[in-house]
Each structure stands twice: as C-alpha cells, then as structure tokens.
Amino acid sequence: MLLYTSRRLIGMIPLLLAISMAIFGLVQLQPGDFIDELKLANPKMTVDDVARLRHDYGLDQPWYVQYGKWLSKAAVLDFGVSRENGYISATEYVFQQRLQNTLTLTTMSFVLSLLVGLPIGIYAAVKQYSILDYVTTFLSFVGYSVPVFWLGIMMLLLFGAKLKWFPTDGMQSEGVSMTVESDEKFDLNGQVLSVSKNAQGQPVITVGVYNEATKLEEPKAVTLPAGIQNYPKMGDYVSLGQAMGSRVTLQSWLNATKDALWHLVLPVIALSLIQIASWTRFMRASLLEVVNQDFVRTARGKGLAERVVVYKHALRNALIPIVTLVGLSIPGVLNGAVLTESVFNWPGMGTALLSSVVQKDYNVAMVILMMLAIATLASNLLADLVYALVDPRIRYN
C-alpha cells in the first residue's frame, strides 16, 4: 500500500504540471488583462504608460516565458497579490477569507445529501417496484436533470423574495456579529505607537498622549483586559470613552451562529438536492445488484430474517462501490458550489473565482483553479485507498 501510494503521489507531479499549464493557457486566452482595467479607470494613461506597465509586469513576453516565471513562484506558494482585494497575497486571501466559507457550505450539503440520499436509495431497492420506488425514481431523475443555478434562483424567488422565510444573500445579517463591545473603556486620547504582549499574554498598547504641561507627546502603556479581541492596531487613534475592544459572549455567539445557519438553509438545500438524486440512484442500483447474487439467496435459504439478509449481508457489500463514488464526487461538490455561491452571493471561493475572472484578477483565479485540481487528484487517490481497505479482494502492490 505504501509503495502504491508513493508511486501515485510521484505520478501526480507531472499531471499537476500539465494541468497548471492548461489552466494558465486558458486564463491567458481571456480577452484583456488588468492593465486594460487600469486604463479604463484612468483615461489619462497614455500609450507609452500602457506599454511601460506591460513591460514591467512581463505581459509583453511570450506565454511560455510568463508561465515559467509563474511556475517558479507558484512552486513556493507565491501566486502573487490580489489587485482587487487590497494587494494582499492571493493565497492568503483565498485560504483565510474564502476557503472556510466554501468548506462550511459544501460539507453541510455533502453530509445532508448522504444522510438523505442513501437511506432513500436503500428503501427504494428493498421495496422494488412499489409506489415509493416509482416516486423516488421519478423524483431522482428530475432532480438529477435540474441545473443547480436554476434551482437556486427558484428557491430564492419563492422562499426568499415571495414568502420571506429565509435571507436572500450573504452569510450574515447586517448588525449581527460574533463579538460585542467590551465594557472596558479608554481614559485617554492619542495614537497607538506600538502593540505588544506581556508575560501573561495580554495585549499591551503604547499610546502617544499629549501632555498639556510639557507641551509634548508622551508614551503611555495600557494593558488591555484578557479576552479582548479586535483591539486597536498600531497607527490607530483611540479616544476617551472608546471601547478597548470586543468580546465573544454566549449570547453573541448564539445569535451569530443562528443567523449564519439561517443563511445556510437555502444554499445547502439547493446544492444537496442534486446530490440526493444521484445518491438515491447509485444506492438503489448497487443494492439491487447485490441482492440478486448467490450469497444473498444462500442467506435467505438458511432462514435468516429479511432484515438481517438485507442490512447485514447485502448492504455491506453494496456500500463498497459507494465508497469510491463518495471520494470521486468531492470535486463535483466544490465545482457545484461555484454556481451556488454565485446565485446566493455566498462569500466563498465560487464568488471569488467569478469576481476574479470578471475583474481580471487572475492571481486569485489561479489559486482557486489549482486548488480544485489538487482536490480532484487527492480525492481520486483517497477513493482508491479506501476502496482497498473496505474490499479485501483489492490489493495494491
């Protein structure tokens, strides 16, 4: 198993290189670049200015030269900066501000689809040719064929705009926060000169306070209470009566969590309904195939109860191909989240990808696309390894 895994991991390297080259080439085929955006924003830019900027950023070089320079930096996880997000690192922007939101949405929808789709598929197989089987088969075909963006729009119109049961966009209502202002207030005015921490780990800020007697600005250290968040940073101004920071309280945490879950309902359902239809069909077909095999008929011939035959003998074998499909479907969930996030304006990687392509912020797009490529390769490898663990007939050398 270890040798097989090592070979697969080594084989992923040239494959990733080929994928990165293809992605980079497709991005380069997009009409225009960020220099064109700068020119539109600043009509006073001359032709010489545009040519100089293209030369400075290497945009006048052949694509393979640009790819080589990009690859040398991407190998150390330097994908450049995000021009549309304050010129911070594109990797930092995706991982710190967007990835968690996407993982929350996709994980909840994925778990919900498995918890609902697999039992329905099992019951449909056990009750084959019953009314329930026909209904679930029809609904699964309908659900499988409905585009996720259309379903999301219909749910927004019905449950958001018309019935007003759920919020229509974003992940948090205005004014709702995980933190509340602390009761501790500043008793001075001045600019924060430095920020440090004492031996107990409490933040200590040094404020430049104007002394009326000496007519000079004198530094004064202020130790902030334990548990303070969002306290002033270096260069900020603090004033008399201003809260020293914010705290997370039980009530603020409960309110923020409830609000976030309420915003999650529609996008999670929209993303999971398509998957539920797929898992229902897969589970039904897999179980029906196993139920008709000889060892199941032998179990019935021994006089075992039908419940034991189905759930102890048949189901365990029917779940083996499902394990593979679970691993292979993970990239599809992430790809489906791109459309779902765009419809519901969910601040995840999907909306970041769409925004980066429209605004020609290609560094962010490259980070997200490479992440999806790596997730696809990793999920394929994981599915193969898990398949060998659950099926004793499979051995990797």
Distance between alpha carbon 213 and the CA centroid of its chain, in Å?
57
368 and 344 in one domain? yes
**CA 264 to CA 155: how far, in whole Å?**
13
User: Is residue 37, in this structure, part of any structural domain at all?
Assistant: no
Cβ-contact 337, 149 below 8 angstroms: no
Q: How many domains does the chain have?
A: 2
**CA 328 to CA 3: how far, in whole Å?**
22
User: Is residue 1, in this structure, part of any structural domain at all?
Assistant: no
CATH of the domain at 224: 2.40.50.100
User: Residue-wise pLDDT tens for the chain (397 aa)?
Assistant: 677 778 778 888 888 889 888 888 887 777 777 777 777 767 777 777 778 877 777 777 888 888 888 888 888 888 888 877 777 888 888 888 888 888 888 888 888 988 998 899 888 888 888 888 888 888 888 887 888 888 888 888 888 888 888 888 787 887 788 888 888 898 888 898 888 888 888 888 899 988 887 878 888 888 888 888 888 888 889 898 888 888 888 888 888 888 888 988 999 988 888 888 888 888 888 888 887 777 777 877 777 777 777 777 787 778 777 877 777 777 777 776 778 888 888 888 888 888 888 888 888 888 888 888 888 888 888 777 776 666 666 666 6
Last-in-domain residue among 195, 216, 247: 247
202 and 165 in one domain? no
Tokens of 289: 């195939």
Tokens of 228: 């303070």
Last-in-domain residue among 247, 270, 292: 247
**CA 179 to CA 17: how far, in whole Å?**
44
273 and 226 in one domain? no
Q: Name the H helices within 292-361.
A: 294-301, 306-308, 315-344, 349-358
235 and 373 in one domain? no
Last-in-domain residue among 214, 247, 280: 247
The residue range of the domain holding 310 is 90-172+253-390
353 and 269 in one domain? yes
**CA 175 to CA 171: how far, in whole Å?**
12
Cβ-contact 397, 109 below 8 angstroms: no
206 and 140 in one domain? no
